[in-house]
Amino acid sequence: MAEWSGPFSDTTDMSEDRWRRLMSLYALDGIDASHGAADLKATAAGDGLSVNVAAGFAHVQGALYHSDGTINKSSSANGGGSGRPDRLVLKYDPTGNEIVLEVKEGTAGGTSAPALTQNATGEWEIPLARWVRSAGGGITGLVDERQFISRDGRVVIYDDAHTGEGSSSVYTLSALFPSARKGLTVLLMPSGNEYRYTGTFWERIDPAPLLQSEKANAVQVNGTPPDVWRQGSGSDVLSGTFIAPSSGAVRVEGWCMIRTNGGTCHTTVRITGPGGFDNLGEPDNNNLKARESTFAGGTERETAACVYRQSGLTPGSTYTATMMYAVNGGSGAAFDLRKIIVERA
């Protein structure tokens, strides 16, 4: 086994691969500009069949790219019967000894733009934009996918480039950063959502709640039969999804305003997820479940709320939080101004 180190004054074998390894430690892959700048931005050309890419600097795998003027890149005609997703990338090509702009064309009728190639010892692509080439037509739905290098060690992208972890969409961070190293941090703008790659999944790490969902319309619940948990129906249902953090624990909060004609009202938040996970924080069981605020009688408007800590979640998995209601006695109640908040715990 041989050891090697460099570069030093007498180093004679500083290969391209070694330079690539060294320089990539000092610059993340991305556009060397502030988020929102026009550098290397792709815009639809006047012919509607190509894109114009503005001048700018970028780093890809430790190598520097510079374009000092606008470059036009064509997207070939789509002869298929439905739209074709295409993608514009900046490609590091160690064989050709260059970094170049390239249009990658997808499959007509496909749901995702072509996947990025990221080979540590070969070609490496970073995204600049994606669009759909209409059947027999031009470019539509252009999305800016540029990744900007932040001086604090993060990559900054647009919210539109990423449509949500845990969703059915293919445009997740896993698709935009297919070869992410553990610990890579990505900031989305303008939302301010921030994610860190755990080595297994992308975890939200910004201070905002993992889930915040609310509705103002009322759910009517009567007291017969008593204390049966209901969630409403159709558009009355208040629910949302969240990705479990690496701790496997979250703080769950649900509250609503209540108008009642007698009876005792309860509210809680039900958590369901993979593997048949189903936890309803009931008021008669305070073991890491909901501690209910309830009241009885009158037609006044009051608040019912529950707050509890939910543990035992599988990190990186998607869970659903749904607000539930129950009434004991009286002639019913209306639950309105409802809100669910899920935070890391």
Q: Is the pLDDT of residue 122 over 60?
A: yes
**Average pLDDT, integer, range 183-209:** 94
**Taking the CA atoms of the chain, what radius of gyration do you get in angstroms?**
26
Comparing C-alpha atoms, which of 238, 232, 200 is closest to residue 219?
A: 232
Q: Given a cut of 70, is residue 298 above it in pLDDT?
A: no
- Arithmetic mean of pLDDT over the chain: 88
What local confidence, expressed as pLDDT, does residue 281 receive? 64
Which residues, in sequence order, are bridge partners of residue 324?
268
First-residue to last-residue Cα distance in the chain: 47
H or E segment to which residue 17 belongs = helix 16-24
Residues linked to residue 189 through DSSP beta bridges, in sequence order: 158
Averaged pLDDT for residues 170-178: 91
- 295 in Cβ contact with 303 (< 8 Å): no
Contact indicator for 51, 205 with CB cutoff of 8 Å = no
Contact 186, 195 (CB under 8 A): yes
| Arithmetic mean of pLDDT, 95-122 | 94
Helical residues (DSSP H) of 110-256, grouped into ranges:
173-176
pLDDT band at 311 (very low <50, low <70, confident <90, very high): very high
- Look at residue 197 and tell me whether its pLDDT is greater than 90: yes
Per-residue pLDDT at 99: 96
Tell me the pTM.
0.84
| For range 14-42, the mean pLDDT | 90
Burial class (CB in 10 A: 0-12, 13-18, 19+), 344: middle
Residue 274 main-chain phi, psi, to 5 deg: -65, 155
pLDDT tens for each residue of 239-295: 999 999 999 999 999 988 887 766 777 788 999 999 999 988 654 443 333 334 445
Sign of the torsion angle spanned by Cα atoms 223, 224, 225, 230: negative
3-state secondary structure of 174: helix
Please tell me the least confidently modeled range out of 187-201, 205-219, 263-277.
263-277
Residue type, position 138, single letter: G
Report how far residue 270's alpha carbon sits from residue 254's, in angstroms, rounded to the nearest whole number: 10
pLDDT band of 334, cuts 50, 70, 90: confident
More confident residue, 300 or 263: 263
Q: What is d(CA 72, CA 52) in angstroms, rounded to the nearest whole number?
A: 4
Residue 51 phi, psi dihedral angles, 5° rounding: -125, 150
pLDDT digits (tens, 9 = 90+) for 132-145: 999 988 999 999 99
The CATH architecture that domain 211-344 belongs to is Sandwich (2.60)
> Would you give the DSSP letter of residue 299?
S
Q: Which two tokens stand for residue 274?
A: 């993979």
The answer, yes or no, to whether residue 113 has pLDDT greater than 90, is: yes
What integer pLDDT is reported at residue 300 of this predicted model?
58
Least confident of 19-28, 108-117, 222-231, 311-320: 222-231
pLDDT of residue 293: 45
Q: What is the pLDDT of residue 222?
A: 80
pLDDT of res. 283: 47
Give the closest residue to 106 by CA, choosing from 170, 179, 58.
Answer: 170
Question: 53 Cβ partners below 8 Å, 6+ apart?
Answer: 40, 41, 42, 67, 70, 71, 72, 73, 88, 101, 128
Question: Do the Cβ atoms of 288 and 310 come closer than 8 Å?
Answer: yes
Do 103 and 86 touch, CB atoms closer than 8 A? yes
- For 186, 248, 310, 314, the CA distances from 241, given in Å and listed in that order, are 21, 15, 14, 14
The token duo for 329 is 């006695």
